Amino acid sequence: MKGAALLLGGVALAAALSCHDNVGPGACFESNAQAYPFWYGTDTSLIFHWPPSYNPVRVYAEPTGELPADVANAMALWAGAFRCRELTLTVATDSTHADIIVRNPPTIPAVRLPFMHEMHADSVLACTGVTQFFTSSDSTALVGPMRSYVAPYPGYDSATIASCYHFVVAHELGHALGILAESPDTGDLMYPLPYHLYLTEDDRYTIQLLYHTPSRVGPPPRQ
């Protein structure tokens, strides 16, 4: 299986092969699918997913335009990828009590700070997105919530930008849930240029496998 081959170099898979009580082996995983890397860059120690104790993970969407609806659709999309309820999500109405914050600024923040990591996406060249997270100096824990931003490119009509947001918001939420890399397959939602609003079998298998792989980075303190 290609997914296992990708992960054997530095990631223990013992936990990935087990599932919840009273569920048969493999029942939590997509069949006939391939996983792509979910760690950050080339550092296989930078693996993160929200622990069960954080369920439901709280997602705040800035109340701007269609962003709350796009975030709600993306939440349903990713929550539906899990067969064994490894992750549940809920809407947060207060950004100070959120695990993931999604905003819609006029432009993507360009400031670089120490221990900041980020993943980018663009779609149909009408909008762009980035997800940022901060770690402790030893990269063992997140500092603060995951933060995703989606912003328009100039020169496009509102309908094209709105369509672009559908894809990019869902892509960025995938990063905020722990897929800290991009898919190399143009058909996957987690490809850097997403163009559809559904998860492929490989998208689903990748996040399923991630949530059965030990997280090397701890969650931030909860507010």
**15 has pLDDT over 80:** no
pTM confidence score: 0.88
**76 has pLDDT over 60:** yes
**Domain membership flag for residue 46:** yes
**Domain membership flag for residue 222:** no
Quote the mean pLDDT of the chain: 88
Tokens 């905003």: give the residue. Answer: 103
**19 has pLDDT over 70:** no
**Domain membership flag for residue 89:** yes
The residue segments making up the domain with residue 132 are: 2-210
Query: What does the pLDDT read at residue 24?
Result: 53
**Domain membership flag for residue 180:** yes
Query: What does the pLDDT read at residue 190?
Result: 96
**38 has pLDDT over 70:** yes
**Domain membership flag for residue 217:** no
SS3 state at 180: coil
Backbone dihedral angles phi then psi of residue 141, each to the nearest 5 degrees? -155, 150
**196 has pLDDT over 90:** no
What pLDDT band is residue 8 in, cutting at 50, 70 and 90?
A: very low
Specify whether the CB–CB gap between 130 and 108 falls below 8 A: yes
**Domains contained in the chain, number:** 1
107-113 mean pLDDT: 82
CATH of the domain at 123: 3.40.390.10
**Domain membership flag for residue 220:** no
Interacting residues of 171 by C-beta distance below 8 A, sequence separation 6+: 121, 123, 129, 189, 190, 194
Nearest C-alpha neighbor of 184 from the set 2, 20, 43: 2
pLDDT per residue over 129-161, tens digit each? 999 999 999 999 999 999 999 999 999 999 999
What pLDDT band is residue 12 in, cutting at 50, 70 and 90?
A: very low
What pLDDT band is residue 100 in, cutting at 50, 70 and 90?
A: very high
**Type of residue numbered 38:** F
**Domain membership flag for residue 119:** yes
What pLDDT band is residue 22 in, cutting at 50, 70 and 90?
A: very low
**Domain membership flag for residue 144:** yes
